[in-house]
Amino acid sequence: MNTRSAMLGGVALLLVATGAATWGSLNHVRPPPVVPEVDVSQLPVPPLPPRISEGADYDQCLALLSGDPDGARALAEAWQARGGGDGATHCLGLSRIALGEPEAGAEILESLATASQATAAIRATLFSQAAQAWMMAGQPRRAEQGLTQALALSPDNPDLLVDRAAAAIALKSYAEAATDLTAALSNDPRRVDALVMRATALRQLNRLDAARDDIARALHEAPDNPEALLERGILRQRGRDPAGARADWDRVLTLAPDSPTADLAEQNLALLDAGPPR
């Protein structure tokens, strides 16, 4: 299954937010992270194996998450009371996330991952889902810890490495993030999300040429990727190319007008328009 879709769909944009443009010395002040509200369409619901349970109750509970999270929670609690086991607990944790309680959901999923007798792959998925919820809750340290546990069960898993890098960047642990992303890219050198994240980490480490190389590779693979364009704009502004930065950020507004990425582009454009401080 794609264990990383929820994390990257819900919080990857805060990674690029770690470098919103400023003037003066052309250093970058990190704005408050963009932590989107819980989007039920991006919940870490496993559409494909590995699944922790089977049966009609499990399927019904998962199906309720997107449209009726209160119903999913009620079903999970009733099922748990009659001995529903891991499947009931899993759905209960996911329902708490869907109800806007990511911390509670993360605790449930993390406890389940620790206690379950399921396979290592399934337990790694549970730790990953808990980490996604910790990121939604604005607790990247807990997310990083959970993903380290997941990687102990599924070593060198590129999705888990990318997710842990996301948490590391949120913690400003840029060197650690770059190490994880390099490991992930060794498996898939054309992976755009990893290239953009590594560019962000490298920029924060002042390795600007390497960051530009990663963004060039990302945009070669996906020329209209908004996150890559946002990051290239930041790098262009760092390189004293305000016209190029403006072009990239304007392009973000065209491609993804109602997104957190566009919000960041608008913030950067406003700073660009304001000019350097007197």
pLDDT digits (tens, 9 = 90+) for 110-168: 999 999 999 999 999 999 999 999 999 999 999 999 999 999 999 989 999 999 999 99
Nearest Cα to Cα of residue 238 among 217, 198, 209: 209
Residue 95 phi, psi dihedral angles, 5° rounding: -65, -35
In the predicted structure, residue 46 carries a pLDDT above the cut 70:
no
Q: Find all residues with CB under 8 Å of 230, minimum gap 6, and list them.
A: 16, 248, 249, 252, 261, 264, 265, 268
In the predicted structure, residue 35 carries a pLDDT above the cut 70:
no
Choice between 19 and 76, residue whose per-residue pLDDT is larger: 76
Q: What is the pLDDT of residue 278?
A: 59
Angle at 5 between CA 187 and CA 229, to 5 degrees: 75
Residue 207 phi, psi dihedral angles, 5° rounding: -100, 70
Q: What is the pLDDT of residue 51?
A: 81
The mean per-residue pLDDT over the stretch 7-36 comes to: 33
User: What is the rounded CA–CA span in Å between residue 153 and residue 238?
Assistant: 40
Q: Give the pLDDT confidence of 218-247 residue by residue, as tens digits.
A: 999 999 999 999 999 999 999 999 999 999
Residue carrying structure tokens 């998925």: 125
The mean per-residue pLDDT over the stretch 62-71 comes to: 93
User: What is the rounded CA–CA span in Å between residue 189 and residue 49?
Assistant: 26
Q: Give the DSSP H or E segment for 116.
A: none
Question: Per mean pLDDT, which range of 15-19, 93-97, 151-155 is the poorest?
Answer: 15-19
How many angstroms separate the Cα of 64 from the Cα of each of 75, 83, 124, 220?
Answer: 9, 20, 24, 40
Q: What is the pLDDT of residue 70?
A: 96
Residue pair 249/265 in contact (Cβ under 8 Å)? The answer is: yes
Q: Give the pLDDT confidence of 120-129 residue by residue, as tens digits.
A: 999 999 999 9
Classify residue 148 by burial, with Cβ atoms within 10 Å: 0-12, 13-18, 19+: middle
In the predicted structure, residue 60 carries a pLDDT above the cut 80:
yes
Residue pair 140/167 in contact (Cβ under 8 Å)? The answer is: yes
Tokens of 240: 């004293």
Other CB atoms within 10 Å distance of the CB of residue 117:
7
Q: What is the pTM of this model?
A: 0.82
277: pLDDT confidence band, cut at 50, 70 and 90? low
Q: Find all residues with CB under 8 Å of 171, minimum gap 6, and list them.
A: 140, 141, 144
